[in-house]
Amino acid sequence: MSLFKLLTVVTLGALFVLSGCVGGSLGDPKKTVIRFFGAMEKDDKAALAHLLDLSELMKNVSEDYAFHSDDSARVFTSPQQILDDLTGDGLTKTRWFSYQRIINKVEVMGETATVEVTFVNKDQSKGYRTKFGLHVLNEKWKIYSFKAIPDEG
């Protein structure tokens, strides 16, 4: 093999490895959701702040992701309110952790993704499906929305 061919093969190999590292460095959005639930369980607000796009979550004014019983969505005016809601005795944490959580399918569309999570109320034999919206921010998957999926029946 000539020196030119050898250098070409080595260069292409290095580019292939580097492109795999860069593309794969984001990891799996599903793992971000799993880490999110782990941080909620531990009441780790610092970890939650690194997993969430809090400014985007504050823009949600039309839907309450805690399966709140009344028709109006709670509006959060600060990131701290969201973190309080997801930890300790917060309504969302209390509700979500009273259900069995099943992480379902993942859809990745470039730098955005959705992870479907089903919350199962075993006592009532009822499930609530939610799509967690994630996008790439600072080269990491961040959760920016929780959208309820309406019943199809």
Top pLDDT among 61 and 113 is at 113
Confidence at residue 14, expressed as pLDDT on a 0 to 100 scale: 40
Domain-located, residue 100: yes
Confidence at residue 27, expressed as pLDDT on a 0 to 100 scale: 86
Joined tokens for residue 73: 């969505």
Domain-located, residue 131: yes
For CA atoms 88, 77, 75, 51, give the dihedral sign.
negative
Query: Could you give the number of structural domains in the chain?
Result: 1
What does the H/E/C string look like for the chain?
Answer: CCHHHHHHHHHHHHHHHHHHHHHHCCCCHHHHHHHHHHHHHCCCHHHHHHHECHHHHCCCCCCCCCCCCCCCCCCCCCHHHHHHHCCCCCHHHHHHHHCEEEEEEEEEECCEEEEEEEEEECCCCEEEEEEEEEEEECCEEEEEEEEEECCCC
Domain-located, residue 73: yes
Read off the pLDDT of residues 85-136 as tens digits, 9 standing for 90 and up: 999 999 999 999 999 999 999 999 999 999 999 999 888 888 889 999 999 9
Confidence at residue 72, expressed as pLDDT on a 0 to 100 scale: 67
Domain-located, residue 14: no
CATH number for 124: 3.10.450.50
Is 117 within 8 Å of 127 (Cβ atoms)?
A: no
- Under the banding of pLDDT at 50, 70 and 90, the label for residue 77 is confident
Read off the pLDDT of residues 4-27 as tens digits, 9 standing for 90 and up: 443 333 344 443 333 333 344 578
Q: What integer best gives the mean pLDDT of the chain? A: 82
Confidence at residue 123, expressed as pLDDT on a 0 to 100 scale: 87
Confidence at residue 68, expressed as pLDDT on a 0 to 100 scale: 56
Domain-located, residue 69: yes
